[in-house]
Amino acid sequence: MLPKYNVLTQEQVEIIHNESIKILEEIGMDIEYEPALEVFRAEGLKVEGNRVLFTREFIEGKIKLAPSEFTLHARNPEHNLVCGGDNIIYMPGYGAPFVQLSDGTRRKSTMQDFDNIVKLAGASKNMHMTGGTVAEPQDIPDEIRHMKMIYSSIKNSDKCFMGSAEGQERAEDSIEMAALLFGGKEVIKEKPVLISLINSLTPLKYDERMLGALMAYAKAGQAVVVASLVMAGSTGPAALAGALALQNAEVLVGIALAQSINPGTPAVYGSTSAISDMRSGSLSNGNPEAALFISASAQIARFYGIPSRSGGALNDAKIVDAQAGYESMMTLMATTVTGVNFVLHTAGILQNYAAISYEKFMMDDEMAGMLIRYMEGINFDEDGLAFDVIAKVGPGGHYLAQKHTRKNHKKEFRTPQLSDRSAFDAWSKEKLDTNQRAHKQWQEVLASYIPPALDEVIDQQLLEFIAKRS
């Protein structure tokens, strides 16, 4: 694994930390959930209405309780994931209400789309888990949508998946369903199986919905990603350092709350911060400033000794075009080379999380495979240096028929899944561009994918639970 690339000096990271502490001590945060306020009161913090003023001692002490890495357990143990250290976890986009079609139009996402994306992630060699709300199924009633999505994640793949963060009740539903799958709440408390996305309300707020979910998962020993989305120029200052300090303050409070409830709760430092486009006022994350937020956040998380979440194949593009490609590679490469551990939005996402595309999923999956290979670096053992075969071939020869080539090319060279490397004459027979190849590929993957078998008794118990809760 290649060394991590840093965009901040150690001194600059410490400046961000101290500025965040100053924000929390002198300004504080609004906590719009009474059970959370009770926790902070019990910790001896000053609470005025919904406003909580934090101390350096409290924040720094609690952050030290979060583990530097943890294991997420999958239905298939071969797909267990270690979050933290040098590990990277790729997964699809999250929360898209629309599906972008290959003809340039879009429609509302459905349960079938959700199932399909889970299957594509299940089939992928590059997506390490299926993720969470990979597409918002708007044809399912809101009150049961979260359970239908979790059931699909369980039924259509045996990789790790995410729980609902839409309040305490839906978090508890997620925990109950996971407990049915893995053999009980005590089992999953000992070996976490769920991770959920908890977002602050920038600037300097947490609402009842997110805090209710955070507290439920912390009590159950499940992992939480605590994330902030600062839109520099609108919900945060139009200055990257100040926006980072604001983001950091919000994330630290969420992680500290989780540790106050259950010391050692697996927690991930999350960032989706980017800039506001000053012409439209909308979020823009397909830009170098967003890449700097991604990279700096990974480094700040390492400063605290906590796994990080940020980045993905982010972009401002409306369709799967060249803009989607070059912006996505910029942000996904920044994510990867700077050491982000947990990567939502690796595949399929368009226009600031608004839409997901099957074609872009396949393209991003290809990019993820390329970056996994890139991070493996260069082999310097005897085969890697290849002196003997260089001496054997000598000047003016070639290596195509050499045993060394047959032995090494498969492990040294990555074979593309989507990219076309054929000669022009061969390509000209069909003249398929990348979009067309991707369209063909995702259909072939879904047609051939067989979901891993799920125990019939557990399957029935899950369905009965959903019916009962409905």
Are 360 and 388 contained in the same domain?
no
Are 396 and 301 contained in the same domain?
no
Query: Which residues are within 8 A (CB) of 176 and not within 5 positions of it... i.e. 6 or more apart?
Result: 465
**Is position 30 within any domain?**
no
Q: In the predicted model, is pLDDT for residue 391 greater than 90?
A: yes
**Is position 117 within any domain?**
yes
Tell me if 124 sits within 8 A of 365, measured CB to CB: yes
**Is position 43 within any domain?**
no
Query: For residue 470, what pLDDT is reported?
Result: 86
Query: For residue 227, what pLDDT is reported?
Result: 98
Are 394 and 263 contained in the same domain?
no
Query: For residue 172, what pLDDT is reported?
Result: 98
Are 131 and 253 contained in the same domain?
yes
In this structure, the chain runs to a length of 470
Are 193 and 325 contained in the same domain?
yes
Query: For residue 241, what pLDDT is reported?
Result: 98
Residue found under tokens 């125990």: 455
Tell me if 159 sits within 8 A of 119, measured CB to CB: no
Mean pLDDT of 133-161: 97
**Is position 397 within any domain?**
yes
Instruction: Tell me what percent of the residues of the chain surpass a pLDDT of 70.
Output: 100
Instruction: Count CB atoms within 10 A of the CB of residue 57.
Output: 10
Are 322 and 407 contained in the same domain?
no
**Is position 257 within any domain?**
yes
Are 386 and 372 contained in the same domain?
no
Are 337 and 404 contained in the same domain?
no
Are 151 and 244 contained in the same domain?
yes
Are 214 and 318 contained in the same domain?
yes
**Is position 151 within any domain?**
yes
Domains in the chain, number = 2
By C-alpha distance, which of 313, 365, 306 is closest to 335?
Answer: 313
Last residue of a domain, one of 393, 412, 431: 412
Instruction: Tell me what percent of the residues of the chain surpass a pLDDT of 90.
Output: 98
Average pLDDT over the chain reads 97
Q: In the predicted model, is pLDDT for residue 2 greater than 90?
A: no
Last residue of a domain, one of 397, 412, 427: 412
By C-alpha distance, which of 90, 96, 120 is closest to 318?
Answer: 96
CATH code: domain of residue 119: 3.20.20.480
Q: What DSSP state is assigned to residue 436? A: H
pLDDT in tens, 419-429: 999 999 999 99
Mean pLDDT of 16-26: 98
Domain that holds residue 217: 63-376
pLDDT in tens, 165-189: 999 999 999 999 999 999 999 999 9
Query: For residue 209, what pLDDT is reported?
Result: 98
Query: For residue 30, what pLDDT is reported?
Result: 98
Last residue of a domain, one of 350, 376, 402: 376
Are 368 and 386 contained in the same domain?
no
By C-alpha distance, which of 112, 221, 223, 85 is closest to 160?
Answer: 223
> In the numeric block, which tokens belong to residue 323?
């803009």
Q: In the predicted model, is pLDDT for residue 1 greater than 90?
A: no
**Is position 368 within any domain?**
yes
Question: Distance between CA 270 and CA 202 in Å, rounded?
Answer: 13
Query: For residue 3, what pLDDT is reported?
Result: 86
Q: In the predicted model, is pLDDT for residue 100 greater than 90?
A: yes
Q: What angle do CA 241, 242, 247 make, to 5 degrees?
A: 100
Query: For residue 344, what pLDDT is reported?
Result: 97
pTM (predicted TM-score): 0.97
**Is position 206 within any domain?**
yes
Are 404 and 330 contained in the same domain?
no
Confidence of residue 16 (pLDDT cuts 50, 70, 90): very high
